[in-house]
Chains A and B, each alone.
Chain A
Amino acid sequence: MALSDLATPGVAIASVARNRIPRIGVIVALLWLALLAVGALVAAAGLTADPLTNDYTVISQAPSLAHPFGTDNLGRDVFSRSLHGAGSSAVVALVTVFVGGGLGILLGVWAGLRRGIADAITGFLTDVTIALPSLIIVATVVTLAGPSLPTISLTIAAFAIPVFARLSRSATLSIAAENYVVAARTLGASGWRILTREVLPSVLPVMMPFLMTTLATAIISEGALSFLGFGLRPPEPSWGGLIAEGRTQLALAPWVTLLPALLLCVTILAINVLGEHLREAKR
C-alpha cells in the first residue's frame, strides 16, 4: 500500500534493530541508480530509438539485441520507452524531494523555533493535508488542469510538505534545547541565522532517510497515477503507463509489462537500500 502512504512515508518503514545492509548492497544500489540516470539522459538526448515511432515490421517482438526489452504491439521499442519513463519518474521524484521536502522542512523548523501561533497553524494545516486522500486529489487536479509533468510533480510534492513539516518540527524541538543553539541565542544571533546556521545543519541529516523514502513513494505514486490513466497522456511513456499498456497482452508479450515493472521494482529497491543504509549510519 506504498502509494497511499504518501502522507506517511516515515511510519511505513520505521523500525529498530534491523539486519544490516551489506556494503556491497549499497555499492550496487548506487551503481544501479547512476546507470539509470545515464540511461535516462542518453534517452532524453535522443540517442536511443524514438519511443513514439510505430514500426509495424517488428510488432510484439521478444527481447533481442536490436530491442533489449522487445517491442510492443505497435512495434515501439520498450527499452527506449522505459528509459524515457525513467526520466519522467526522476523529475517527479526530485521535484517532490526538493520542493515538497524542502518547503516542508523549512516550515517545520520555522514552526518548531517560533512555537506559538505559527506552530499551531502549521500543525493544523498538516492535519488537514493528511486527511485528504492524496491519490484522488492528485488525479482530480491532473484531470481538471490537464496532465503535464509540472502539474503531476508539483501536486505530488504538495502532499510531501506536511509530512516533512511534522517530522522536522519534532526534530527541531529537541535540537533547539541543545547548548549550542542556546549559546547562539544568548550571543544575540538573529532568528534567520539560528535557523540556517545552527538548526538546519542538524535537522537535515535526521531527515535524509525520510527523503529517500519519499523519493521511492513519489515514484510509486507517479506509477500508480499513470497506471490508472491519470498520468502523462499516452503515447507519452511513463513507467506506470507502460505497465498498464502491456497488461492486455501479458500472455502474448509479457516483456512489455514485466520488464518495465522489473525496472521500477529494482529502482525502488535500490532507493530503499540507500535509505536503510542512511538510517543505520545515523545510529
Chain B
Amino acid sequence: MRIAWLPRAGRSLLVLIVVSALTCQLAALLPGDPAFVILGDESTEAQREALRHTLGLDQNAFVRFVNFMGGVVTGDWGTSFASGRPVLVEILSRVPATAELVILSQVVALAVAVPLALHSARNVGGKLDRLVSTGTFLLLAVPSFVVGIITIQFFAVQLGWLPASGYTAFVDDPLENISHMVLPVLTLGLAEGAVYVRALRGSAIEALRSPYAYASIVRGASDPQLLWWRILRPSSSTLLALIGVSLGVALGGTLLVESLFAIPGLGRLTVSSLGVRDLPMIQGVVLFAATTVVIFGILADIAVSRIDPRSKHGLV
C-alpha cells in the first residue's frame, strides 16, 4: 500500500487547526476567571477587564478563534506578558539550546542502542543479551528526573568533573558548551537508549529468523557483516517510528531536564511561563509542540518508506 501523501498532509493540517482552536479556548474552557488567576486577588476590576480584552475573552469563542488563527498564519503569535516580546520571537530564540540537547541525546542513544541491540539479538539468551535486557529493564523504571539528580550528585558534586547546571552557546565557547551538555544529554539519552535497544532487538531477532539471514549465514558472512549489512536495515522501521515519536514529544522530556540543568531552552521557557501564568506564551508553546509532533510524524513515515520499501507494498 502506497502512503497517500496528500490526504496525510491534509489530515495533519486539520489536526493542527483543531489544536489551535483548542489552544485559544484553553483559558475559557477552564473553570474560574483566568484574569483573576493570572493577576491575583490584588488586581482591580479595570485591570482584569483590560486583560480579558487582551486575551480576547470578552469576545465569543468563534471570533477569538478567527483572530487567533489569523495571527498564527501571519506570524503574529501574540505578545508575552512576562517579557513584552513577541511570542514567536521568544520561542525561536530558545530553539537552538533545545535542539542541541535533543539531537545530541538522540545521537548518544542511537550510538549505544544500535550495536547493543544487534549483537544481543544475534545471541539471544547469551551473556551480553541477558545483561542488556536486564539493564534496560531496570533503566526503564527510573524516571529522567531521578537519573538527572543522581548524575548531578555523582559527576558534578562529588567528582566535580562537570558543571551541574548552566549553558553557554556553542558559538561563544565550544568546549564550555559541550561540558555543560554532557550530563543533560546523558540523562535524556540513557532513557531513550533503553527504549530503542528493546525495540530494535525485537525486530532484529525477527529479521534473523528470515530465510535471507539464514542464507547469509551459511554463505559465511561474519557477524558484523550480517548484522550491519543484512539485518539493520529491514529491522529499523519500528526504531524509526519511535525516533519520530520521541523527536516529536521531545519538548515534554526537555521540560524536566532543562529545569534540572538550568538550560535556557523551550522546556525552561515553558516552565517559567507557567510559573508567571504567561498565557500567550503557553499557547504559543503548545502550538509549536503540536507542530513538531505532526512534522516528525510525517518525516518518520517518509523515512520508513524510504528505508524499507516493503512497507510501500504492504509486505510488513
Chain A residues within 8 Å of B, Cβ to Cβ: 1-8, 11-19, 124, 127-128, 130-137, 139-141, 143-146, 216, 220, 223-224, 227-230, 240, 243-244, 247, 250-251, 254, 257, 261, 264-266, 268-269, 272, 276
A sample of 14 cross-chain residue pairs with beta-carbon separation below 8 angstroms, ordered by A number, consists of A1-B144, A1-B253, A4-B246, A6-B252, A11-B242, A13-B140, A17-B124, A127-B11, A144-B37, A145-B32, A227-B256, A250-B153, A264-B146, A272-B137
Name 8 extra pairs, CB < 8 A, besides A228-B259, A251-B157. A1-B188, A3-B253, A15-B199, A133-B293, A144-B37, A224-B145, A228-B256, A268-B140
- Cβ-closest 7 pairs across A and B: A4-B252, A15-B202, A269-B141, A133-B289, A4-B249, A268-B141, A16-B202
Assuming the contacts A19-B125, A132-B290, asked whether A224 and B198 have C-beta atoms less than 8 A apart, the reply is no
Contacts of A130 in B (CB 8 A): 293
Shortest beta-carbon distance from B64 to chain A in Å: 16
Q: Complex Cα distance A155/B232, Å?
A: 39
Are B141 and A272 in contact, with the CB atoms below 8 A? yes
Given A17-B205, A250-B149: A131 in contact with B199 (beta carbons within 8 A) = no
Residue pair B140, A2 in contact (C-beta under 8 Å): yes
Asked whether A268 lies within 8 Å of B143 as measured between CB atoms, the reply is: yes
Specify the chain A residue showing the minimal Cβ separation from B270: A136
Identify which of B23-31, B85-93, B219-227 touches chain A.
B23-31
Q: Is the CB of A143 within 8 A of B277?
A: yes
Q: Is the CB of B145 within 8 A of A1?
A: no
Residues in B whose Cβ lies below 8 Å from that of A141:
30
Cα distance A86–B141 when bound, in Å?
16
Residue pair B252, A135 in contact (C-beta under 8 Å): yes
Chain B, residue nearest A130 (CB): B293
Are B255 and A136 in contact, CB atoms less than 8 angstroms apart?
A: yes
- Contact between B142 and A265, CB atoms less than 8 A apart: yes
Given A140-B274, A250-B153, A135-B255 contact (CB < 8 Å) = yes
Closest Cβ–Cβ distance, residue A280 to chain B (whole Å): 13
Is the beta-carbon distance between B205 and A16 smaller than 8 angstroms? Answer: yes
> Given the complex of chains A and B, what is the CA–CA distance between A14 and B149 in angstroms?
28
Inter-chain CA distance A228–B257, complex, in Å, is 10
By a CB distance below 8 angstroms, the chain A residues around B30 are: 141, 144-145
Q: How many residues of chain B are within 8 Å of chain A by beta carbon?
A: 68
Query: Secondary structure at chain B's binding surface: helix, strand, loop or mixed?
Result: helix
Looking at the complex, which one of B14, B22, B245, B251 makes contact with A8 (CB distance below 8 Å)? B245
Asked if A2 and B143 sit within 8 Å, CB to CB, the answer is: yes
Nearest opposing residue in chain A for B34, CB measure: A144
Given contacts A15-B198, A272-B140, contact A243 B145 (CB under 8 A): yes
Residue pair B18, A128 in contact (C-beta under 8 Å): yes
Nearest CB in chain A: distance from B102 CB, A: 10
Q: Is B116 located at the chain interface by the 8 A CB criterion?
A: no
Please, which residues of chain A bring their CB within 8 A of the CB of B183? none
- CB-defined contacts of A251 to chain B, threshold 8 Å: 153, 157
- Expressed in whole angstroms, the minimum distance between the Cβ of A274 and any Cβ of chain B is 12
B199:A261 contact, CB within 8 angstroms: no
List residues of chain B with CB within 8 A of the CB of A257. Answer: 149
Which residue of chain B has its CB nearest to the CB of A125?
A: B18
A136 touching B19 in the complex, CB below 8 Å, given contacts A1-B246, A4-B249, A223-B145: no
Q: Smallest CB-CB separation from B189: which chain A residue?
A: A1
| A contact residues around B11 at 8 Å (CB) | 124, 127
